[in-house]
Amino acid sequence: MSFVRIWVHIVFGTKKREPLLLNETKDKVIRHIIENAGTKEIFIDCINGHKEHLHCLISLGVEQNISKIINLIKGEASFWINKVKITKTKFEWADEYFAVSVSESQIEVVRNYIKNQEDHHREKSFIEEYDEFIEKYGFKKLG
């Protein structure tokens, strides 16, 4: 048996950063993502977000990679959202996403960051948060 513990902090948003994840819509989407992830053996330790994006702390399994997990989560969630029509317009995720590894010593910090998204975004917009991540982790901005 192989033993793997690779933590990844993933952030993905709605297409055009539309604020479609409001109140009970966000809660329903999160519940569905957790349930669906469980059926696909994707371990989501923590998930939360704000009106136009979600943060997930995920532990990768032996046969998993980030791209595959993101596609499974986002693809199935958008299919489900549109099928049950919990948004007034067609729901789509943005193509891009953000993913960074998290060291074991920083797990609690990331969990708290994810859990406190509502408070965090009272002070900072998603665009500001996105720009901070891009700069902090040395990514190049698109467009």
Instruction: For the chain, list the domains and their CATH numbers.
Output: 6-136 (3.30.70.1290)
Cα-Cα-Cα-Cα dihedral of 52, 132, 116, 33, to 10°?
40
> Residue 19: what pLDDT?
95
> Residue 75: what pLDDT?
96
Per the structure block, which two tokens stand in for 77? 């969630």
Q: Which of 22-31, 85-94, 101-110, 128-137 has the weakest average pLDDT?
A: 128-137
pLDDT per position as a tens digit, 19-57: 999 989 999 999 999 999 999 999 999 999 999 999 999
pTM of the model: 0.91
The answer to whether the beta carbons of residues 10 and 110 sit under 8 Å apart is: no
Confidence of residue 105 (pLDDT cuts 50, 70, 90): very high
